[in-house]
């Protein structure tokens, strides 16, 4: 198959790393990225969209590669000043990063859609792939812990994802509609890739938006997922810890099981080679390769394996 579009479902840092490799293997204009917005938050009165920004900054070549989020070389002088005013500053917003949130908040106040604002930001930063929020409607991840329910960033950043997770739900998801172009992009795609993102808090909210999972089921033979779990540990973030506290084995095959109704191919790391047969039993084609992306070379190499498995022309 040649020259068609590829849709990617993306969370934050893990997805951004993979997409960085993919944009070196396929023309970025062919890539349509559906980003998670359920961990968006109002911070100091500003609308922050961490996952959209992480992917945007990464593809713009601006990301702080060590942290994974925020802008490389940013300063935190505004945050320091807020701290002097005794404001809570556990969520680190850099000075340059703040410009993105100021712009987004102002445009939302004017009545613009998040989809259009994201297109403005990506265009201004020179990103050639299309990045689209899963929905323009408000959807928020809520984490249920034994001691009560937490707003996502409180769980993730303030409390360092240490709480036991009983369940996760997405406030507003059942009434939300996908953003303009999302269903059409899936329906018309040559291939759909689930990036190596947390299945509960990154991919889960995208699948919870009405119509998206069904649209993927129609395209099942063109859908590939990349495991975010390697050797029983998450590539990044709390996925393994969450799985354990929800009484699931932190294993790649357990992630595959969550996707079995709409994923045809499942990429797992060489360290998990033994699980390939279990993935096959779930009705998926296992693809075993190195999924750890330390360098651009490794990112490109993983992207190439995925593109080859999908039989799309680079």
Which residues of the chain form contacts with ligand FO1 (CB under 6 A)?
A: 11-13, 39, 48, 50-51, 53-54, 69-70, 91-93, 97, 153, 156-157, 202
Least distance between ligand FO1 and beta carbon 35 (Å): 10
Cβ nearer to ligand FO1, comparing 156 with 288 = 156
Least distance between ligand FO1 and beta carbon 231 (Å): 21
Least distance between ligand FO1 and beta carbon 65 (Å): 14
For ligand FO1, which residue has the nearest CB?
A: 12
Least distance between ligand FO1 and beta carbon 214 (Å): 25
C-alpha triplet 61, 65, 70: angle, nearest 5°: 75
Least distance between ligand FO1 and beta carbon 188 (Å): 28
Residue pair 135/176 in contact by the 8 Å Cβ criterion? yes
> What three-state secondary structure class fits 22?
helix
Return the structure tokens found at 59. Answer: 């593809």
Least distance between ligand FO1 and beta carbon 251 (Å): 21
Cβ nearer to ligand FO1, comparing 5 with 227 = 227
Residue pair 12/68 in contact by the 8 Å Cβ criterion? yes
Cβ nearer to ligand FO1, comparing 209 with 253 = 209
Cα–Cα distance, 132 to 67 (Å, whole number): 23
By DSSP bridging, strand 46-48 and strand 41-43 are: antiparallel
Q: Give, rounded to a whole angstrom, the gap between the first and last alpha carbons of the chain.
A: 9
Cβ nearer to ligand FO1, comparing 191 with 234 = 234
Least distance between ligand FO1 and beta carbon 217 (Å): 25
Query: What's phi and psi for 267, nearest 5 deg?
Result: -95, 125
Cα–Cα distance, 90 to 2 (Å, whole number): 47
Cβ nearer to ligand FO1, comparing 92 with 301 = 92
Helices (H), 75-130: 77-84, 95-109, 114-124
Cβ nearer to ligand FO1, comparing 26 with 225 = 225
As to burial, measured by CB atoms within 10 angstroms (0-12 exposed, 13-18 middle, 19+ buried), residue 80 is exposed
Cβ nearer to ligand FO1, comparing 69 with 262 = 69
Query: What's phi and psi for 266, nearest 5 deg?
Result: -130, 125
Cα–Cα distance, 256 to 210 (Å, whole number): 21
């Amino acid at each position: 198959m040649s020259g068609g579009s590829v849709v990617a479902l993306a969370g934050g840092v893990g997805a951004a790393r993979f997409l960085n490799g993919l944009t070196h293997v396929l023309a970025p204009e062919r890539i349509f990225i559906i980003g998670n917005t359920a961990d968006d938050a109002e911070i100091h009165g500003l609308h922050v969209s961490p996952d959209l920004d992480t992917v945007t900054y990464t593809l713009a070549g601006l990301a702080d590669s060590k942290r994974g989020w925020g802008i490389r070389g940013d300063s935190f002088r505004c945050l320091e000043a807020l701290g002097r005013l005794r404001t809570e500053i556990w969520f680190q917003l850099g000075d340059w990063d703040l410009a993105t949130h100021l712009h987004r908040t102002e445009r939302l106040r004017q009545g613009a859609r998040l989809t259009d604002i994201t297109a403005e930001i990506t265009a201004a930063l020179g990103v050639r792939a299309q990045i689209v929020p899963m929905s323009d409607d408000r959807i928020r991840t809520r984490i249920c812990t034994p001691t009560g329910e937490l707003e996502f960033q409180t769980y993730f950043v303030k409390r360092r994802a240490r709480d036991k997770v009983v369940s996760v739900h997405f406030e507003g998801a059942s009434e939300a509609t996908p953003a303009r172009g999302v269903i059409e992009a899936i329906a018309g795609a040559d291939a759909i890739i689930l990036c190596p993102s947390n299945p509960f808090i990154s991919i889960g909210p995208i699948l919870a938006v009405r119509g998206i999972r069904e649209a993927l089921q129609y395209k099942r033979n063109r859908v590939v997922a990349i495991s975010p779990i390697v050797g029983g540990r998450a590539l990044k973030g709390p996925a393994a810890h969450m799985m354990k506290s929800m009484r699931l084995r932190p294993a790649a095959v357990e992630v595959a099981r969550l996707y079995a109704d709409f994923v045809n191919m499942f990429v797992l790391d060489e360290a998990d080679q033994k699980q390939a047969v279990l993935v096959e039993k779930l009705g998926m084609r296992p693809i075993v390769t190195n999924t750890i992306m330390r360098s651009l070379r490794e990112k490109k190499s993983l992207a190439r394996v995925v593109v080859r498995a999908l039989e799309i022309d680079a």
